[in-house]
């Protein structure tokens, strides 16, 4: 495990061959390890980072209470045979006077961008810095944060960064709930009711595939979430997979995307159609 940027660069030079990279915010779970496994299938070595990025949290979000378990995370990465783990310090990534932000227009403005202003500027800025520092051949991101994946792909394309971006399918619990570090916030009762989110997406997908008008299927999905106890639904929408523009009727490669809050925990999920 290395922390300082100069130690990262030294360790990176010692890794010959193709390198895969898995950036994380820690609190690792089997979804992260699926990213590592996907990287191992595509490269000679895998590097990972653990960094809770303050730039992507809003003023009233959960930065201070975001789960941190560095020692356990490092042990999990070692057991998964990750060759290099980088735990950067905030002052290394954002030194005094740091004033640069990367904005990804269009893709970053709807959905999460509207619900969490400034979020994707924080994501794009830190991902660009991590990719430049690690210099991997391929970087892997989970499809659970589907809009984030789209934003990162656009970032890499627009800046001509020499790295392949690979999306890895969402890993789920037995009842369908997408694995997420934030699931740790759920009480036992909330955890049981949270499975309504993937269920609503699956039912909407089935309804749309069966010919029900899109808006009716989406309205039924939102109603199901409210009945299950989700207090706020930021969006529950059918979108084009590439542009993330909303669709009023089925067309091409599509995703159902959703963000909703149960108790104090905001959950994201999506499903391809």
List the catalytic residues: 32
Alpha helices in the chain (DSSP H): 5-13, 30-40, 70-79, 90-93, 112-115, 119-134, 146-158, 188-194, 196-209, 214-228
How wide is the angle at C-alpha 176 spanned by C-alphas 175 and 179, nearest 5°? 110
- Name the helix (H) or strand (E) containing 272: strand 265-272
Q: Alpha carbon of 223 to those of 177, 180, 190, 219, 230: distances in Å?
A: 18, 24, 17, 6, 10
What CA–CA distance (Å, rounded) separates 171 from 141?
Answer: 12
What CA–CA distance (Å, rounded) separates 73 from 234?
Answer: 31
Packing angle, helices 146-158 and 119-134, rounded to 10: 60
Helix (H, G, I), strand (E, B) or coil at 19: strand
Nearest one of 248, 255, 177 to 215, comparing CA atoms? 248
Tokens 């808006």 belong to: 215
In our burial notation (b when 16+ CB lie closer than 10 A, e otherwise), range 173-187 reads eeebbbbbbebebbe
Packing angle, helices 196-209 and 214-228, rounded to 10: 160
DSSP symbol at 149: H
């Amino acid at each position: 495990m290395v922390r300082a940027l100069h130690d990262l660069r030294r360790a990176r030079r010692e890794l010959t061959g193709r390198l895969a990279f898995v950036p994380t915010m820690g609190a690792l779970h089997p979804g992260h390890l699926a990213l590592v496994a996907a990287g191992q299938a595509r490269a000679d070595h895998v590097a990972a980072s653990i960094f809770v990025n303050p730039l992507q949290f809003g003023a009233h979000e959960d930065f201070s209470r975001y789960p941190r378990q560095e020692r356990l995370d490092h042990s999990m990465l070692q057991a998964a045979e990750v060759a290099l783990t980088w735990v950067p310090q905030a002052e290394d990534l954002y030194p005094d006077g740091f004033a640069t932000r990367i904005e990804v227009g269009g893709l970053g403005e709807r959905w999460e961008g509207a619900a969490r202003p400034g979020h994707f500027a924080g994501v794009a800025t830190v991902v660009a810095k991590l990719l430049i520092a690690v210099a991997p051949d391929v970087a892997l991101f989970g499809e659970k944060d589907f809009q984030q994946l789209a934003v990162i792909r656009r970032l890499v394309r627009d800046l001509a960064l020499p790295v392949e971006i690979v999306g890895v399918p969402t890993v789920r619990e037995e009842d369908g709930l997408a694995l997420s570090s934030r699931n740790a916030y759920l009480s036992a009762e909330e955890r049981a009711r949270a499975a309504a989110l993937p269920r609503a997406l699956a039912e909407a997908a089935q309804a749309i595939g069966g010919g029900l008008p899109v808006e009716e299927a989406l309205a039924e999905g939102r109603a199901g979430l409210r009945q299950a106890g989700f207090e706020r639904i930021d969006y529950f929408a059918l979108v084009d997979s590439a542009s993330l523009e909303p669709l009023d009727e089925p067309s091409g490669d599509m995703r159902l995307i959703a963000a909703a809050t149960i108790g104090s925990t905001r959950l994201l999920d999506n499903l391809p159609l």
